[in-house]
Amino acid sequence: MFKKILIANRGEIACRVIKTAKKLGIKTVAVYSEADKDARHVELADESVCIGPAPSRESYLVMDKIIAACKQTGAEAVHPGYGFLSENEEFARRIEEQGIVFIGPKHYSIAAMGDKIASKKLANEAKVNTIPGWNDAIESAERAVEIARDIGYPVMIKASAGGGGKGLRVAFNDKEAFEGFTSCRNEARNSFGDDRVFIEKFVEEPRHIEIQVLGDAHGNAVYLWERECSIQRRHQKVIEEAPSPFISEETRRAMGAQAVALAKAVKYQSAGTVEFVVGKDQSFYFLEMNTRLQVEHPVTECITGLDLVEQMIRVAAGEKLSFTQDELRREGWAIECRINAEDPFRNFLPSTGRLVKYQPPVQTLEQSVPTLAGEAYEGGAFGGVRVDTGVYEGGEIPMYYDSMIAKLIVHGRDRNDAIAKMREALNAFVIRGISSNIPFQAALLAHPKFVSGDFNTGFIAEHYPTGFRAEDVPHEDPTFLVALAAAVNRKFRDRAAGISGQLPGHGVQIGIDYVVVTLGPEGRHTHTPVSVEANGSVSVKVGDKLYVFRSDWRFGETRIVGACNGQPFAAQVERLGLTIRVTHNGTRIDTLVLSPLGASLHKLMPYKAPPDLSKFLLSPMPGLLVDVAVQPGQQVQAGEKLAVIEAMKMENILVATQDCVVDEILAAKGESLSVDQPIIRFK
């Protein structure tokens, strides 16, 4: 076994690998860029080496710097995590040539599976189902149309070197095939320097289901069941679960057997994932093989009780797999939500900055000790909650890397139990200072189609075609939110009444009757009369409904955990001036809890309209202003480029929404912008 390994990555996956290494008694080396000098993975590792400036192309992607860090620290092996250099065959080969072990597959396996055209040919030879299509590079748009007709519409046009949704089009007719081929080719040339394009059958109502495989250097290979990854936004996974609620045991076994056949065909030695697209009739076709650890590996760890990082390290050290296919267990149901630094209400634009508050839910599952659901956890609860993260409260979310803050994983008895656990865990996850996609995750988990398991890869595009809005999260009991605001207000009133030195006859009166004013847009507020009494617990009557709250919540805490009418709940409450903000199950309300007289006077208050900002171009997100494309005095047409902002590996082009004349440039190229910061003023 290795004595010291280097982790050629950052963020949550670097922290994840360090935890398992510590469990195995292996020393760890972290590498970091200048932007990550105070990052969590640097703190957790035994040693750390700075490998360059913030941009990843000058640090985490520079092979020479990582090899030098190995030599400097005496690391015997490198774990690449995911992303960055994890699927780079040259990196794997160079590491091995230096006498360092690559904790992952051999470079020839990475090469065989890295090229989409070559990998499909290999899959065919290994008798793995592949989508009907044309797997050689296509020379012209006219030929693309002929091939598309032969396969039968709809077809998918894909760049061979594509990824992350780039170089991909779906065509339903000759015109779309002609245009799609041309734009795919251009996009592939610009993004990957490789303009080869191929065409395959487009599977309708497709599901994205992947099989986790594990192989060793002794010719053994097994599959660790499947993961359902169909909930995607712009080809990026949002929620993953294991097992899949869709496929039958027969399909599961057939997919697993084909995944193992492919792994053996490329002499695969490590953890890897074979991705399939599955049609509504359970027909399944090979998509690609990911020759690395997946972001969503924890759900497989939960249902099998295996530590996949540990298995990768053991295989790399030359050990045989310690179990056979027949010995693998599958228990319970696991779900993972990716918690990202993005604003769901602003079309998921990146949100960078300081984590003013970061309080994940209480963990009952440890990252490097994935316990099977059949065993009891702390407190005797079945299943548990796990948080894989690379951040901490007070830390910075830099603009240079991807937007993931954490992965929230739950393990339950069955799918409904796991969904209920995940909803409670999301309620208890406190993030402030930056925006997160937690409200969107809460909405997805409550959607009846998700709960019933009736979804495919088009789920988000179909149900949220114009983006995500606050009203897309209907709360199953809106009066609960009103009652909770009243209960919290009662705690504040009790404290105020108990302050000593109040003028006799003029002290704070608590009272029973209140009106909860739920603040709405443009002064359209809702008034709800309530009765509140406190006697150990707080009882709130709203109409004919009674809510009895018990909680040891203290002032200043954002998270409130307790019981309502005997049922456990978690929510978030904040006092902002006179406003009490309540967040639960993805729904947020701002309230004023007033006396009946105060509420009647509040109704008379005139609505104060916000200032008119239509003459300004505002930054929709925090980021780096990389270009201002206009000058003062310039006449601009609607749709014309005004500025470009870069954040989290994404470039966002801001365009004019109407014809206008530029009056003044308010921000300079190269400036770091905050959200809503003015960039340009128009006349």
Q: Higher-confidence residue: 158 or 603?
A: 603
What is the phi-psi region of residue 670: left when phi exceeds 0, alpha when psi lies from -120 to 50, beta otherwise?
A: left
The first and second tokens of residue 29, run together, are 């080396």
Looking at the fold, whether 590 and 631 belong to one and the same domain comes out as no
The residue assigned the tokens 């809503």 is 676
Looking at the fold, whether 349 and 409 belong to one and the same domain comes out as yes
pLDDT of residue 120: 87
Buried b (16+ CB within 10 A) or exposed e, 201-232: bbbeebbbbbbbbbbbeeebbbbbbbbbbbbb
Residue 400 within a domain: yes
Apex 485 CA angle, 609 and 346, nearest 5: 45
Looking at the fold, whether 624 and 594 belong to one and the same domain comes out as no
Looking at the fold, whether 365 and 348 belong to one and the same domain comes out as yes
Residue 470 within a domain: no
Contact 66, 48 (CB under 8 A): no
DSSP 617-650: EEPSSSEEEEEE---TT-EE-TT-EEEEEEETTE
- 36: DSSP letter: G
Q: List, in order, residues 6 or more apart from 487 with CB less than 8 Å away.
A: 532, 538, 540, 547, 549
Looking at the fold, whether 339 and 258 belong to one and the same domain comes out as yes
Looking at the fold, whether 429 and 483 belong to one and the same domain comes out as no
pLDDT of residue 470: 78
Quick one: pLDDT band at residue 378, thresholds 50, 70, 90? very low
Which residues does residue 359 pair with via DSSP β-bridges, in sequence order? 430
Longest dimension (CA), the chain: 92
Residue 83 within a domain: yes
Residue 62 within a domain: yes
Find the CATH number of the domain harbouring 570. Answer: 3.30.700.30
Phi, psi (rounded to 5 degrees) for 420: -60, -45
Contact 311, 221 (CB under 8 A): no
Residue-wise pLDDT for 210-268, tens only, equals 999 999 999 999 999 999 999 999 888 999 999 999 999 999 999 999 999 999 999 99
Quick one: pLDDT band at residue 79, thresholds 50, 70, 90? very high
- Rounded-to-integer distance, Cα 21 and Cα 300, Å: 19
Which of 67-71, 105-109, 623-627, 645-649 has the lowest average pLDDT?
A: 645-649
Residue range 118-142: mean pLDDT, rounded: 88
Which of 350-364, 544-558, 640-654 has the lowest average pLDDT?
A: 640-654
- H/E element, 403: none
Looking at the fold, whether 634 and 593 belong to one and the same domain comes out as no
| Domain edge (last residue) among 544, 576, 602 | 602
Which of 37, 1, 26, 32 has its CA nearest to residue 14?
A: 32
Residue range 26-54: mean pLDDT, rounded: 97
DSSP 344-399: GGGTTEE--EE-SEEEPPPP-SBTTB---TTSB-GGG-BSEEEEEES--TT-EE-T
- Rounded-to-integer distance, Cα 107 and Cα 109, Å: 5
- Rounded-to-integer distance, Cα 444 and Cα 472, Å: 10
> Can 288 be counted among the known catalytic residues?
yes
Contact 181, 141 (CB under 8 A): yes
pLDDT of residue 218: 98
Find the CATH number of the domain harbouring 357. Answer: 3.30.470.20
Buried b (16+ CB within 10 A) or exposed e, 511-544: eeebbbbbeeeeeebeebebebebeeebbbbbee
- Rounded-to-integer distance, Cα 124 and Cα 200, Å: 14
Quick one: pLDDT band at residue 163, thresholds 50, 70, 90? low
In this structure, the strands spanning 284-290 and 641-647 are unpaired
- Rounded-to-integer distance, Cα 392 and Cα 38, Å: 10
Residue 637 within a domain: yes
Number of compact structural domains in the chain: 5
Find the CATH number of the domain harbouring 77. Answer: 3.40.50.20
Residues in the chain: 683
Which of 28, 40, 29 has its CA nearest to residue 397?
A: 40
pLDDT of residue 377: 47
184 three-class SS: helix
Looking at the fold, whether 188 and 211 belong to one and the same domain comes out as no
- Rounded-to-integer distance, Cα 363 and Cα 345, Å: 28
Looking at the fold, whether 144 and 185 belong to one and the same domain comes out as yes
Residue range(s) defining the domain that contains residue 538:
478-499+508-602
Q: Evaluate if residue 510 carries a pLDDT over 80.
A: yes
1 three-class SS: coil
Residue-wise pLDDT for 89-118, tens only, equals 999 999 999 999 999 999 999 999 988 778
Q: Evaluate if residue 380 carries a pLDDT over 60.
A: no
Contact 162, 175 (CB under 8 A): no
Quick one: pLDDT band at residue 139, thresholds 50, 70, 90? confident
In this structure, the strands spanning 4-7 and 77-79 are parallel
Q: To the nearest whole number, what is the mean pLDDT of the chain?
A: 92
Looking at the fold, whether 278 and 361 belong to one and the same domain comes out as yes
Contact 343, 351 (CB under 8 A): yes
Find the CATH number of the domain harbouring 665. Answer: 2.40.50.100
Residue tagged active-site, from 210, 288, 310, 424: 288
Residue 163 within a domain: yes
* % of the chain surpassing 70 pLDDT: 97
Buried b (16+ CB within 10 A) or exposed e, 43-52: ebbebbbbbb
Looking at the fold, whether 194 and 212 belong to one and the same domain comes out as no
Which of 246, 220, 216 has its CA nearest to residue 231?
A: 246
Looking at the fold, whether 193 and 214 belong to one and the same domain comes out as no
Which of 44, 2, 81 has its CA nearest to residue 308?
A: 81
- Rounded-to-integer distance, Cα 270 and Cα 24, Å: 17
Residue 416 within a domain: yes
The first and second tokens of residue 103, run together, are 């904790």
Residue 153 within a domain: yes
